[in-house]
Amino acid sequence: MRLRDGGGGADAYADAVVTYLALGVSRLADMCNSFCMWESSRTQVRHLFTRQAIPMLWDFAENNVFNDAGGDFRTSLRSVTRALERLPAAGVGRVVQRDARVRVGEAAGAVVSTDPPYYDNVPYADISDFFYVWLRKNLSDVWPDEFSTLLTPKAEEVIADPGRHGGPEGAREHFESGMAEFMATLAASHPADLPAAVYYAYKATETKDGEVRSTGWDTFLQGVVDAGLQVTATWPMRTELANRPRGLGSNALASSIVLACRPRSESAALASRGELLAALRGELPESVRALQSGGVAPVDMAQSAIGPGMGVFSRYARVVEADGSAMAVSAALAVINDVLGEVLDGAEAELDAESRFALAWYGAHGHSPGPSGDADSVARAKNTSLAAIVESGVGEARAGKFRLHGRGELREGWSPLHDDRLTVWMAAQHLAAALERSESEAAGLLHALGGHADRARQLAYLLYQKASDKGWASEAGAYNSLIGAWPNLRTQAATIAAQADAPTQQTLV
């Protein structure tokens, strides 16, 4: 009996071996084609699909497929076997290639965990053809149903592809109707006592009527709400490699968001815009603090905060606007972003006067010089003086100009234990500078800062936002990296503290 029929004998074993060998060929195709580039940082060939697209290159690099090194066939097979060794040998999985709108209804009563399509962000079926044509040559006899077509099926794919649907408007309608149908079927067939897990990572935005919005999020979340589902929990998962091309030297999204959804109560109440605002202002601060404590990077914060914000919005049967119409998800996302801004800005009140001054000056001038008279006015407004700011080491006033010191000007070996005028600003700057040199140095400094460290982290969020708004990519990247590394730094700092507290064996002489 063949493997596809549930067999377990020699024929089925051979089918399994051929399947895994074909997967190895797929990995080899990714590493050996005329779109592979040379990765100078690691002196090796980089595979094609570093992103969900096939980029054009002026030239390409070639691997030796039999050299027993990175990119050859044995290495490709080892990637497959390592995965097999780590898979739990419990239970038997069943994989079906089927329209999700139909399949989720067929599997009524099953718990759903899904990563839905991202609007127009990834042409899944199109780029799958790169692998499909080779898999079909090797596996059409082993899996005839799965490889019955010359190329992957595309007509029913729920993505916004203008080329298939007569332009952007037709593509949008196809995606919205398909997503709404899927969500409605999910809500009707999913067990009421268990959550459905939905994974999402979508950052692309468009500007419409002067408002920046995410089409992917709008459409997806509107489908969740319209289907009668409520977001009951949310959490970010770090799913992207730091060395991926999009992440190198940029502030690319590093997390996917997990939404836990349950059917909304039939007795859910109506709410006005004012009641929604009040609920968000009451609940979002605690959620943001939890996200920050979890090490969510600033670049991910706006995305991550959508979850708890939508949890508030989706608990209501409907949020009513002043004109009596139901608030759309796009409007709700704008409200959530406004409240998130209020929450992050509120952290400024916890800073010392010199740091509040530096934050305000940084937002206006960065590290460039500005008139000393203006600096003096800002300092007085923050209840400090320009002399105190200069004395604290935050910046310098010279020849009628004031500027903040850059991280490259900071003294190495600085210790908060020996700083008589310790400010949160200097703590954050030294942490960012230390991290650029080494993670261990930054962890040691985090340990030395003690209770000041959390306020330095809060300031890093604020600095990232100002740098991002100004388009200062390098500055934003420094603060984003600091927050992203925070969990590791905190772990290393705890180890340093434990070692410092450990008793030392003494010797009698």
DSSP code per residue over 124-190: HHHHHHHHHHHHHHHHTTTSTTTT-SSS---TT--S--TTTTTSHHHHHHHHHHHHHHHHHHHHHHS
* Selection from 430, 421, 373 nearest residue 393 by Cα: 421
Under a CB-based contact definition with an 8 Å cutoff, are residues 288 and 258 in contact?
Answer: no
Going residue by residue through the chain, which has 509 residues, state the pLDDT in tens, using 9 for 90 and above: 999 888 889 999 999 999 999 999 998 888 888 888 887 777 778 888 777 777 777 778 888 888 777 778 888 888 899 998 998 877 777 788 888 888 888 877 888 898 888 777 788 888 899 999 999 999 999 999 999 999 998 888 888 889 898 998 998 899 888 888 888 888 888 888 889 998 876 554 444 554 445 556 777 788 889 989 998 887 777 665 444 444 434 444 445 778 899 989 889 999 999 999 999 999 999 988 888 877 777 777 877 788 889 999 999 999 999 899 999 988 998 899 899 888 888 888 889 999 999 999 999 999 999 999 999 999 999 999 999 999 999 999 999 999 999 999 988 888 888 888 899 999 999 999 999 999 999 999 999 998 889 899 999 999 998 998 899 999 999 999 998 889 889 899 999 888 876 565 555 55
Following CA atoms 44, 50, 56, 60 in sequence, which dihedral angle do they give, to the nearest 10 degrees? 10
222-236 per-position pLDDT tens digit: 888 998 999 888 777
How far is CA 506 from each of CA 25, 142, 501, 503, 509, rounded to the nearest angstrom?
61, 70, 15, 9, 10
Pairing of strands 196-200, 113-114: parallel
